[in-house]
Amino acid sequence: MENNKLTIIKIGGNVIDNPEVLTRFLRDFSKLETQKILVHGGGKVATRLAGKLGVESMMIEGRRVTNEEMLDVAIMTYAGLCNKKIVAQLQGLHTSAIGLTGADGNSIVSQRRENSVYDYGFVGDITEINSKWIKFLLDTDTIPVFCAITHDQKGQLLNTNADSIAQSLAVGLSSLYKTTLIYCFEKKGVLQNVEDENSVIETINYTSYQSLKKKNIIHSGMIPKLDNCFEALKQGVKNIIISNPEIINNPNHPHTSITL
C-alpha cells in the first residue's frame, strides 16, 4: 500500500444503477494499491423512488430542489439504500469500508444555500472537511464511502451534489496526500460528440472549456462536473480525470485529463 498516495473516485447514478457495472467497478476499486475514498451519487435512484412515493422531482441547473419530503427521500436513498449496498459489497471483497454521511464523525460540514436566485430548499454548500478524522480512518486501512448527504452542525442534514463532495474532499486532503480525483460516469470521457463514444477529448483546460461550452459541445450535467474540476485545480489538486469505470484497472483506457 502506498501511504502518501490517495485516489478519490466519484461514481455517478448510471454506475450505481447498473448492478453488473457496479460490482465490476467495486472489485477493481478494492484492488487499487493506494489509499482510497469512494464518493457516490444516486440521483437516478432517488428520482425513481421519489416517483413511487408520489414526491415530484425538480432539478435546476443540475441541482435538485429539495423540500422536506424530498430530503427524506434523499437521506433514505443515498445514506441508506445506495451507501449500505456498496459498503456490504466492499466488505464481501475483504476490504474494511465504512459508509458515511457528512454528519458521521462531523466529516463534512455545509451550510444551507441561501444567497441564490432560486430557493433550493435543504441543499448544502460545503464549508469544511474534517481532514484529520478522515486521515485517521485511512491510517487504519479503512475505506471511507461518502454519500451525497452533509450536515450544518446545527442538527440539520442537507442534500449535497456528490461531484462537489468529491471535489471538496480532494481539496481538503491534497495537502496531506498526493491526490488523484477521478470522476467515473457512463462515458469514456468528455466527448466532442456526445453520440460518439470514440470522440473522447484527451485534455481540457480552462480556455478550451469556455469554448466547448459556448459551442454547446459541453452541456447539462457536464457543466457542474467541470466547474468542480476547475475549482479543485485552483485549490491545489494536481491530477483530475474523467472516464468510465474501466479506467480503474487500465490507466491506458481512454479518458479526459483536466488541467488549468
Ligand X SMILES: Nc1ncnc2c1ncn2[C@@H]1O[C@H](COP(=O)(O)OP(=O)(O)O)[C@@H](O)[C@H]1O
Binding-site positions for substrate: 42-43, 64, 159
d(CA 10, CA 200): 19
28/186 with CB nearer ligand X: 186
- 102 makes contact with ligand X2W (CB under 6 A): no
Contact 77, 44 (CB under 8 A): no
Residue 82 found at the interface with ligand X2W (CB under 6 A): no
Nearer to ligand X, 128 or 231 (CB): 231
- Answer with the entry of ligand X2W, ligand X, none that 42 interacts with (C-beta below 5 to 8 A by kind): ligand X2W
8 Å CB contact between 35 and 6: yes
DSSP H or E segment with residue 29: helix 19-31
Q: In the bound complex, what is the minimum distance in angstroms from residue 178's beta carbon to ligand X2W?
A: 25
Binding site for ligand X (CB under 6 A): 12-14, 41, 43, 62, 185, 187, 190-191, 194, 217-222, 225
Across 45-76, b (16+ Cβ under 10 Å) vs e yields: bbbebbeeeeeebeeeeebbbbeeebbbbbbe
Binding partner selected for residue 99 from ligand X, ligand X2W, none, CB under the kind-specific 5 to 8 Å limit: none
Among candidates 207, 245, 199, 244, which has minimal Cα distance to 226?
A: 207
Binding site for ligand X2W (CB under 6 A): 12-13, 41-43, 46, 63-64, 74, 123, 148, 159-162
